[in-house]
Amino acid sequence: MATVMIDLKRLGDVKAPAGFADRVLAQAGLADSYAVFETVLGPVYVAWSKLGVSAAMRCLSAAEFEEWFGREVGRALVRVSPPADLAAKIEDQLSGKRRLQFDLRGLTPFSQAVLHKTLEIRRGEVRPYGWIAREIGHPAAVRAVGTALANNPIPYFIPCHRVVRSDGVIGNYGGGGPEVKKQILSLEGVQLARLQKLAQSGYRYEGVRSTKIFCFPTCFHGRRAREESFVFFHDEAEARAAGYRPCKDCRPAVA
Amino acid sequence: MEGTERVFERLVLDHQNRIYALSLALTGNRHDAEEVAQDTFLRAYRALATYPPDRIRDLKQRAWLHRIAVNVVRNRVRGVRPRLVELNGSEPARGPGPEEDVMRQAEIDELAARVACLPARYREAVVLRHVQDLSYAEAAEALGQPVGTVKANVHRGLKLLRGETHGDRDD
């Protein structure tokens, strides 16, 4: 009798395994998991929750990432071994093959709108800050767009590097400075030299003679034309006066 | 909403050991125990999110979690005998806690497996009363059964356990 009782008591003294509470919180969506991944950009720390990827940063150490995450996102963070499929998904995301889900809770609705709009910019293309502001319905909030992009918690994945100044200056980049921004854009196939030459001459749009459509210089549709059939415009009025209409895909102006 | 999250974090930290021990005793192996314990807390979280603040304040957390855990186990094993064979090697290397040496862990595992051999209605009663040290009233509440039923089931469960392990006195 007594031995059975004592045995049963001991069964009640069992402790939960290490990390159990963290795993529960992660499952409930109260803590994010993170792991470090080798990518084409080098090692990147990536955090995710049930809703999707919540942060990504190039950091020197796990401690640095945890500190940054606590400051920027503020949720609890649990280091886990990376799930097998996530590495492939991240590689696909970075090479533009498909899109991940993102967890942007905790950001203001304005920032969320900016980041969602940024996700629409294709690999190999760039847009000015003012384009984002106009597209999300706050045409005057160009500076606020810049701030929202500077505080992008998921650089690389949400391609804030594809937003540049309309005067052709590539601008600063939260994910590692202007040089990294240029490097990533070249990697994605943007012809930086051409872009900057146009911007320095004051040209913001390119039109194609045969179609009478004008685009942003990196627009996918414009790129199919031969170099000699381009005409360049300083602004929308000039293009319209020449009988051109704005491209419906890159939307350099309201159609 | 923020409040619920704080309450839940506390709840997990305060009760994780007891609920894990309960799950282990009810399922008989560590793999299922982790699943049951996690599931218990997740259900608790979903429920908390729908409760008004005064209900959360007045909640008897311990009894409430025990009741959820019992239901989780009942739902998963309905009609299925618990797995008795621990599939070693399929588990990620979580390892024992620092104090729990390997010998002790093996003993605990064997004990848990033995308890898991009991028929469900005896097992639940014995585990709540003698592993978790609930009173008969609390156990009856968690099981949703009359106190008399629980007492009888505890008695029969213990008798079976003793019969299998020692085969001597009947008390």
Each residue's pLDDT tens digit, B140-170? 988 999 999 999 999 999 988 887 554 444 4
- Which residues on chain B are in Cβ contact (under 8 Å) with A26? none
Nearest chain B Cα distance for residue A73, angstroms: 15
Domain A20-94 has CATH 3.30.160: yes
- pLDDT value of position A49: 84
Q: How confident is the model at residue A115 (pLDDT cuts 50, 70, 90)?
A: very high
> CB A17 to CB B20 under 8 A?
yes
Of A90-94, A98-102, A213-217, B143-147, the range with the lowest mean pLDDT is A90-94
Using the Cβ of A241 and the Cβ atoms of chain B, whether some distance falls under 8 Å is answered with no
ipTM computed for the complex: 0.74
* Nearest chain B residue (CA) to A13: B21
Q: In chain B, what's the furthest Cα-to-Cα distance?
A: 56
CB-based contact A27 B38, cutoff 8 Å: yes
* Whole-number Å distance between alpha carbons of A185 and A204: 18
Under the banding of pLDDT at 50, 70 and 90, the label for residue A9 is confident
pLDDT of B1 above 60: no
Residues of B with CB under 8 A from a CB of A: 5, 8-9, 12-13, 16-21, 24-25, 30, 34, 37-38, 41-42, 45, 92, 94-97, 100, 108, 111-112, 115, 126-127, 130-133, 158, 161-162, 165-166, 169, 171
Contact A33, A47 (CB under 8 A): yes
Burial of A125 (0-12, 13-18, 19+ CB in 10 A): buried
Q: Provide the CATH topology of domain A109-190.
A: Arc Repressor Mutant, subunit A (1.10.10)
Out of A8, A17, A81, the one facing B130 most closely (by C-beta) is A8
Model confidence pLDDT, tens digit, residues B49-89:
888 888 888 888 888 999 999 999 888 865 455 454 444 43
Whole-number percent of chain A with pLDDT over 70: 96
Q: Check whether A131 has a pLDDT greater than 70.
A: yes
Interface check A18 vs B, CB under 8 A: yes
Task: Compute the nearest-CA separation of A57 from chain B (Å).
Answer: 26
User: Which candidate from A4, A5, A11 shows the least CB-CB separation from B25?
Assistant: A11
**b/e for A4-26, b at 16 or more Cβ within 10 A?**
beebbeebbebbbbeebbbbbbb
CB proximity A25 to B under 8 Å: yes
- Residue A246's contacts (CB-CB under 8 Å, 6 or more residues apart) are A213, A214, A215, A236, A239, A252, A253, A254, A255
Domain ranges of chain A: 20-94, 109-190, 203-246
| Common-topology check for domains A20-94 and A109-190 | no
**pLDDT classification of B99: cutoffs 50, 70, 90:** low
Chain A residues 56-115 within an 8 A CB cutoff of chain B: 76, 81
Q: Categorize the per-residue pLDDT at B6 as very low, low, confident or very high, splitting at 50, 70 and 90.
A: confident
A68-79 burial code (b ≥16 CB/10 A, e <16): bbeeebebbbbb
Reported confidence tier of residue B90, pLDDT bands at 50, 70, 90: very low
pTM above 0.90, yes or no: no
Distance from CA of A4 to the nearest CA of B (A): 7
Q: What domains sit in chain B, N to C, each tagged with a CATH number?
A: 2-78+104-165 (1.20.140)
- Residue A215 is among the residues annotated as catalytic for this protein: no
